[in-house]
Amino acid sequence: CLAWSDGSIRRFPPGFMFGVASAAYQVEGGWDADGKGESMWDRSIHEHPDLVSDGTSGDLSADSYHNYKRDVEMLRELGVDFYRFSISWPRVFPDGFTNNKNEAGFQYYDNLIDELLKYNIEPMITMYHFDLPQKLQDLGGWANPLSILWFEDYARNLLEQYGSKVKYWITFNQPNGICMEGYGDGTMAPFVSVKGIAEYICVKNVLLAHARVWKMFNDKFRVKNKGSLGISIAVNWLDPLNNATENVQATDEYREFTIGLYVNPIFSKAGDFPQVVKDIIARNSKEQGFRKSRLPVLTSDEISAIRGSADFLAMNHYTTSLVSRPKKNNHPSPSFEHDANVKLTYSKHWAVAKSPWLRSAPYGLYKALIYLNLKYDYPSIIITENGWSSDPGLDDTQRVDNLRSYLNALLLAIEDGAEVSGYAAWSLMDNFEWTAGLSERFGLYEVDFDAAEKTRTPRKSAFVYKEIIASRIVDEAFEPKSLQMTLS
Ligand code: PNW
């Protein structure tokens, strides 16, 4: 409904920022251009092309390395307030270590940032979006506690180079993706699968690396640059399948395993991993014959370093699942799945995207935001990803429906007290969707990957989003009159 009963229009509040997001490996291409080093995704896919369902890679992708001016033109067409993109660590430091700097890589991001600023589009930089330099992976990557220092060193260089131009910083994209998928189920690079152990070591290291960078930012860069720094955390919603006690309990626990594991150490008053997660992993570890819990302990110094180490929660939200407790725990032991011990399903009423895990349940965004308010005392939030995957094609009705209904749910949550100051749609354009390759399209703009120029064409959703941004209203009746873009 567009208006209140007194006739006033429901709008996103003044100052609310609309944007779009992307990530380096998914759009840039230029995998070895001008001195870029090898990332763990380059290495994994070059050695094992079969890891990607359609046999593609990020070698060229949308070639934003060469097409960044067109990308900024699209941002101007949409009229966005900000662009969230990530820096490829091996593009700026080919080996990961900061002694060997690739000037051409730094120049690329300087050019992109300057082009954005020229048109009053705020850059929002993700320092790390899944593409570790291979040399650092050779040393164990995020399972090695020295990664904390490597990341701090890298981040210092980014803040020194771009801190005066860039106000919004995000250290990590989705620690759960980095750790659970990268080191546990082995479905993302580095495709390591030391289940029930490596994931938790990774989580501790990533949280500590984040906290060190926040401290450095807070001490040396914040005031000078009037900036803010956060961390992107996947907060999908979970509801119990029904109100059976065991399912309600499983849901509470699974929220702590998937949300609390990352949010609690940073955003709760007490800090640390959630108690229930500590208890369950300690109990299981003991039963499995481990002398200590597989979940590493956070010392009191570590707890206080991590606690409060973010200016905002950068929330990636895509979908909702229904949780039940299986009669028997058949997951491999040990593993994260065994520790969490749940079965996930969906309502049959929720539309299914091209990605099998992605269902449209906009009420879940509302509930997730209210949950964060009650549990973590009204954190400052920027939605840094939300989106929909489809087949190629310009008439993307399902993406339009999904975008509108999630923005409606977001507006409702803001009206009910959620402190959300921005929203980024995933994604500006079609890109390399990790192991799904080019088979799942998330773009507001379609990319012709067969064309040498990687031609970008706006989908219907791009016109709808443009109208929402311009009016700050979600008008379900809006129909784009022509499919011709104009610059705003
Ligand atoms: C995000 N889930 O990952 C990533 O940050 C992006 O790089 C990616 O392209 C995008 O979402 C679409 O997949 C997610 O299962 C992967 O709910 C899976 C989930 C959520 C986010």
| CA contacts within 13 A on the Cβ side of 324 | 10
Q: Which of 43, 59, 175 is nearest to 437 (CA)?
A: 59
> Residue 204: pLDDT above 70?
yes
Rounded distance from Cα 357 to ligand 1 centre (Å): 10
Ligand 1 centre and the CA of 268: distance in Å? 25
User: pLDDT tens digit string along 66-101?
Assistant: 999 999 999 999 999 999 999 999 999 999 999 999
Q: How far apart are CA 89 and CA 129, in angstroms?
A: 9
Type and span of the H or E element at 316 = strand 312-316
Measured distance CA(195)–CA(445) in Å, rounded? 38
Query: Atom 11 in ligand 1: which residue has the minimum CA distance?
Result: 385
The DSSP annotation for 100-159 comes to S--HHHHHHHHHHHHHHHHTTPEEEEEEESS--BHHHHHTTGGGSTTHHHHHHHHHHHHH
Ligand 1, from 28, 344, 434, 441: best to mutate by most atoms within 8 Å of Cβ?
Answer: 434
CA of 177 to the centre of ligand 1 (A): 8
Atom 20 of ligand 1: nearest residue by CA position: 318
| Contact criterion met (CB below 8 Å) for 271 and 348 | no
Mean pLDDT throughout 221-240? 95
pLDDT bin (cut points 50, 70, 90) of residue 454 is very high
pLDDT tens for residues 111-134?
Answer: 999 999 999 999 999 999 999 999
DSSP 164-220: TT--EEEEEE-HHIIIIIIIIS--STT----TTTHHHHHHHHHHHHHHHHHHHIIII
Helix (H) or strand (E) holding 252: helix 245-255
Please give the distance, rounded to the nearest whole angstrom, from the Cα atom of residue 289 to the centre of ligand 1.
35
Q: How far apart are CA 462 and CA 111, in angstroms?
A: 25
Cα torsion angle, 400, 113, 215, 221, sign: negative
Share of the chain above pLDDT 90, in %: 96
* Ligand 1: centre distance to CA 173 (Å): 10
Tell me what pLDDT residue 488 has: 64
Pocket test for ligand 1, best of 127, 383, 385 (most atoms within 8 A of CB): 385
Give 108's contacts (C-beta < 8 A, 6+ positions apart).
Answer: 34, 65, 68, 91
Taking only the tens place, the pLDDT of each residue in 137-167 is: 999 999 999 999 999 999 999 999 999 999 9
In ligand 1, the atom with minimum distance to the C-alpha of 173 is: 5
Q: How far is the CA of 234 from the centre of ligand 1 (A)?
A: 8
What separation in Å is there between the alpha carbon of 5 and the centre of ligand 1? 38
Which residue type occupies 74? M
CA 426 – ligand 1 centroid, Å: 9
According to the model, what pLDDT value does residue 5 have? Answer: 84
pTM (2 d.p.):
0.98
* Residue located nearest, by CA, to atom 15 of ligand 1: 357
Alpha-carbon distance of 468 to 470, in angstroms, equals: 6
* pLDDT tens column, 291-314: 999 999 999 999 999 999 999 999
What atom of ligand 1 comes closest to residue 232's alpha carbon?
Answer: 5
The angle, 0 to 180 degrees and rounded to 10, between the axes of the packed helices 198-216 and 147-162 is: 30
Paired tokens of 24: 């380096």
Separation CA 383–CA 328 (nearest Å): 37
Output the ligand 1 site: residues, CB below 6 A.
23, 26, 173-174, 177, 234, 236, 316, 318-319, 357, 385, 426, 433, 442
Among 251, 188, 194, 217, which residue's Cα sits nearest to residue 44?
A: 188
- Residue 48: partners with Cβ closer than 8 Å, 6 or more residues away: 191
**pLDDT on residue 7:** 84
State the DSSP string of 57-77. Answer: -TTTTT-HHHHHHHHHHHHHH
Residue 479 has pLDDT above 90, yes or no: yes
